[in-house]
């Protein structure tokens, strides 16, 4: 029997509710595909701060490094009201996630934005713009750039303070994420847009030069550059023109939220973060949604789809991954929706009811 070790990090806000639904689906996968998962829960983010006083306990790091895949819900809370944000920056919830990404060296964050045909009514764009559906893959650099550069404050001679966050990229960091993107494009429609701000930023000028060098190695890929402000505009003007987008950490954070809304709801988009080994970190791209936490209202589909990506990329269980994805689209085609989506003639489902529906559809496949 095929076995795999999975680390589960429920985290904060809606995290525990949505991870619980993905676990139900993984249990169903065990039954249906005769595989066995050894799942270990670990603390991170605010939950870890409350329990042990730091956002990424050593034990959590160890559990993750010893697993084949890590499935994460969300971390963080409302910045304006939560006591966690009174702590020094290095002890805040998000720092746990950033440290884990760095410790696992998962530099390539794959964020597929797919518009399910049955969700066309939930798309915010004019129907004719998405008539043929949407299937965009955002490849975001995840362990470099301004997220990990030097930052701090210093006195300002005009009074007050000066704050700074440094953005740095080295050739090797650009090259390795670029390769992931070109390889991904080769398996898809062979179109790649690299997003930067080369008219202003030096990091972007190096980024562009490295990408151009790589483009010569992949003559079959139709490659182009786009400035990030243009890309933000094109994503709502003509999203269907995109196949694969590759970009640095912060631009990727912003553009992937934008892409998710185009596909109907931020509650639908999964992500996979990969490094040089098969071990990966899987998380929905949305946050902890503290406003609806604990209400059994959140959409668990992005987390369930993240578990499917884990089956595919880290556990070598393609058949099961495909089946989970099919169960998700089947559930949507039947008209089942959580409250973040446009209703489709059926009452809204709670978080746990949505998980049950996916399990039901999976077992029927
Ligand atoms: C994401 C999130 C994180 C990020 C936060 C929680 C640190 O927004 O995964 O997109 O900015 O990377
Ligand atoms: Mg984000």
Instruction: Write down the pLDDT at residue 124.
Output: 85
Is 77's C-beta closer than 6 angstroms to any atom of ligand 1?
no
> Average per-residue pLDDT in the chain?
96
Say what the pLDDT of residue 348 is.
97
Find the 270 Cα to ligand 2 centroid distance in Å: 12
pLDDT for the residue 298: 97
pLDDT at 116: 83
Mean pLDDT, range 195-207, rounded to an integer: 98
* Residue 266: pLDDT band with limits 50, 70, 90: confident
Range 329-343 average pLDDT: 95
Which residue out of 94, 143, 252 has the highest number of ligand 1 atoms within 8 Å of its CB and is therefore the one to mutate?
94
Spatial distance between the Cα atoms of 351 and 337, rounded to a whole number of angstroms: 10
Residue-level pLDDT at 123: 86
Closest-CA residue, ligand 1 atom 5, reads 94
Give the DSSP per-residue string, 66-100.
Answer: TSSEEEEEE----TTT-GGGGS-GGGSHHHHHHHH
327 close to 105: Cβ distance less than 8 angstroms:
no
The catalytically annotated residue of 95, 197, 297, 357 is 197
The confidence score (pLDDT) of residue 189 equals 98
Poorest-pLDDT segment among 101-105, 255-259, 319-323: 255-259
Q: How confident is the model at residue 196 (pLDDT cuts 50, 70, 90)?
A: very high
* pLDDT tens-digit map of 131-160: 888 999 999 999 999 999 999 999 999 999
User: Given this model, what pLDDT does residue 355 score?
Assistant: 98
Instruction: Report the nearest-CA residue for atom 7 of ligand 1.
Output: 94
Tell me which residue has its CA closest to atom 1 in ligand 1. Answer: 285
Write out pLDDT tens, residues 21-36: 999 999 999 999 999 9
Decide if pLDDT at 130 tops 90: no
Paired tokens of 15: 């995290």
What pLDDT does 70 receive?
A: 98
Q: Which of 72, 250, 253 to mutate to test the pocket of ligand 1 (most atoms within 8 A of CB)?
A: 253
Ligand nearest to the CA of 258: 2
pLDDT the model gives residue 260: 86
Instruction: Give residue 131's pLDDT.
Output: 85
Distance of CA 285 from the midpoint of ligand 2 (Å): 6
Q: Is the pLDDT of residue 363 over 90?
A: yes
**197 in active site:** yes
* Token pair for 272: 């996979």
CA–CA gap between residue 203 and residue 228 (Å, rounded): 13
Contact 94 CB / ligand 1 (< 6 Å): yes
147 part of the active site = yes
The protein residues having their C-beta less than 5 angstroms from ligand 2 (an ion) are 253
- CB of 253 sitting under 6 A from ligand 1: yes
Mean pLDDT of the region 70-79:
97
List pLDDT tens digits, range 93-112. 999 999 999 999 999 999 99
Decide if 229 is catalytic.
yes
163: pLDDT confidence band, cut at 50, 70 and 90? Answer: very high
Nearest-ligand number for the alpha carbon of 249: 1
| Helix residue ranges, H only, the chain | 15-33, 46-52, 58-65, 93-104, 171-186, 202-217, 228-237, 249-262, 301-313, 318-333, 351-364
The answer to whether residue 264 scores a pLDDT higher than 80 is no
Average pLDDT over residues 124-135: 88
Domains along the chain? 1-109+269-365 (3.40.718.10), 124-262 (3.40.718.10)
Contact 74, 13 (CB under 8 A): yes
Q: What is the pLDDT of residues 271-304, one digit of tens each?
A: 999 999 999 999 999 999 999 999 999 999 999 9
**137 CA → ligand 1 middle, Å:** 17
């Amino acid at each position: 029997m095929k076995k795999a070790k999975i680390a589960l990090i429920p985290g904060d806000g809606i995290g525990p509710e949505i991870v619980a639904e993905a676990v139900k689906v993984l249990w169903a996968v065990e039954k249906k595909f005769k595989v066995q998962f050894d799942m270990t829960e670990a603390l991170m983010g605010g939950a870890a701060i409350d329990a042990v006083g730091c956002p990424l306990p050593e034990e959590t790091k160890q559990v993750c490094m010893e697993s084949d895949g890590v499935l994460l819900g969300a971390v963080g809370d409302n910045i304006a009201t939560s006591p966690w944000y009174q702590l020094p920056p290095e002890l805040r919830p998000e720092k746990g996630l950033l440290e884990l990404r760095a410790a696992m060296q998962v530099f390539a964050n794959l964020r597929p934005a797919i518009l399910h045909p049955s969700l066309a009514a939930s798309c915010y764009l004019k129907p004719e713009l998405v008539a043929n559906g949407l299937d965009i893959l955002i490849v975001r650099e995840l362990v470099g750039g301004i997220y990990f550069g030097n930052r701090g404050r210093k006195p300002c001679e005009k009074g007050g303070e000066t704050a700074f966050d440094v953005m740095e990229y080295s050739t090797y960091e650009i090259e390795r994420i670029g390769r992931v993107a070109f390889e991904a494009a080769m398996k898809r429609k062979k179109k790649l847009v690299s997003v930067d701000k080369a008219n202003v930023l030096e990091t972007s000028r190096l980024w562009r030069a490295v990408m151009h060098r790589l483009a010569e190695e992949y003559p079959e890929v139709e490659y182009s550059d786009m400035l990030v402000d243009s890309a933000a505009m094109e994503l709502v003007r003509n999203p269907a023109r995109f196949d694969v987008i590759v970009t640095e950490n912060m631009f990727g954070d912003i553009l992937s939220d934008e892409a998710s809304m185009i596909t109907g709801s931020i509650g639908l988009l999964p992500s996979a973060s990969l490094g040089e080994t098969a071990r990966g970190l899987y998380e929905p791209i949305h946050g902890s949604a503290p406003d609806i936490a604990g209400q059994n209202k959140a959409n668990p589909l992005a987390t369930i789809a993240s578990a499917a990506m884990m089956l595919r990329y880290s556990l070598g269980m393609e058949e099961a991954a495909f089946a989970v994805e099919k169960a998700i689209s089947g559930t949507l085609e039947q008209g089942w929706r959580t409250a973040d989506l446009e209703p489709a003639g059926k009452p809204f489902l709670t978080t746990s009811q949505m998980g049950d529906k996916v399990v039901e559809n999976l077992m029927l496949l």
